[in-house]
């Protein structure tokens, strides 16, 4: 369960980004400081990949406690993203979507031996544990913003990453085959329903993502729900919007 050097490096990148975000004064923040831009980019990219690792660690540690000890042999407990079943689809592609469009697609993939799990409730909890980590990260970041006297730049960076975490929780918890939300209910479905889900699983998330990207009303509905959930957990959408502004600096 020792964290991998790669994970520690990503954590270090996140910390460097946070330090850069803390340096600009309040005046510089609102005058498009290049230092804040670099800081937000490093903090969000590093923090986003770290959160993906923690998401998959959540699945793996609950599976390990629930009877699937193969996750340890596969290296999933080391928080190393190279151990995932498809690092390109699990890490790189969601990161590209985040950078280009600001859309936090679910990422990461670990192989769970469901036959080794002790019960249906354990299977459901394994699926729910990943999104729960995202929600907890978002809550912690929001609490820090609300409770600590942070510099303006850090408030912006923390709020944007918190919004991405809450939005990722919302995406992942959808009861769509291929998402963790469906994994929560799958053990309780009939074998026929599970067989149908297996057939549609490869393309169901792609169809949903295509609708969100290509159909503006669908995108508007999803972002409206995401913002509402972010507000419910104490998030400041104005600060998060500023974070998006600095993170996707090329779209200004």
Please give the C-alpha separations between residue 97 and each of 15, 30, 168, in angstroms, as whole numbers: 23, 26, 13
- Does 70 participate in catalysis according to the annotation? no
Check if the beta carbon of residue 127 is closer than 8 Å to that of residue 106.
Answer: no
Q: How far is CA 90 from the centre of its chain?
A: 11
Q: Which residue in the list 56, 70, 123, 192 is annotated as catalytic? A: 56
- Return d(Cα 188, Cα 174) in angstroms, integer: 16
- Return d(Cα 239, Cα 144) in angstroms, integer: 13
Query: Which residues, including other chains, have CB under 8 Å from residue 134's CB and lie 6 or more apart?
Result: 51, 55, 165, 166, 168, 169, 172
Q: Which residues are catalytic?
A: 56
């Amino acid at each position: 369960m020792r964290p991998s050097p790669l994970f520690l490096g990503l954590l270090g990148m996140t910390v460097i980004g946070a330090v850069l975000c803390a340096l600009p004064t309040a005046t510089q923040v609102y005058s498009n400081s290049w230092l804040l831009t670099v800081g937000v980019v490093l903090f969000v990219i590093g923090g986003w990949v770290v959160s993906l690792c923690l998401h998959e660690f959540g699945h793996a540690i609950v599976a390990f406690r629930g009877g699937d000890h193969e996750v340890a042999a596969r290296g999933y407990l080391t928080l190393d993203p190279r151990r995932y079943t498809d690092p390109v689809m699990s890490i790189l592609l969601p990161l590209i979507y985040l950078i280009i469009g600001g859309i936090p697609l679910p990422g990461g993939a670990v192989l769970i031996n469901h036959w080794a799990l002790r019960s249906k409730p354990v299977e459901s909890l394994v699926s729910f544990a990943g999104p729960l980590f995202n929600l907890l990260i978002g809550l912690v970041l929001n609490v820090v913003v609300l409770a600590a006297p942070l510099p303006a730049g850090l408030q912006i960076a923390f709020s944007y990453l918190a919004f991405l975490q809450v939005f990722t929780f919302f995406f992942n918890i959808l009861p769509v085959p291929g998402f963790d939300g469906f994994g929560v209910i799958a053990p309780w479905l009939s074998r026929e329903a599970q067989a149908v889900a297996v057939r549609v699983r490869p393309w169901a998330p792609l169809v949903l993502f295509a609708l969100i990207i290509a159909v503006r009303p669908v995108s508007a509905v999803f972002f409206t729900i995401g913002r509402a959930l972010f507000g419910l957990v104490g998030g400041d959408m104005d600060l998060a919007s500023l974070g998006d502004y600095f993170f996707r600096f090329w779209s200004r």
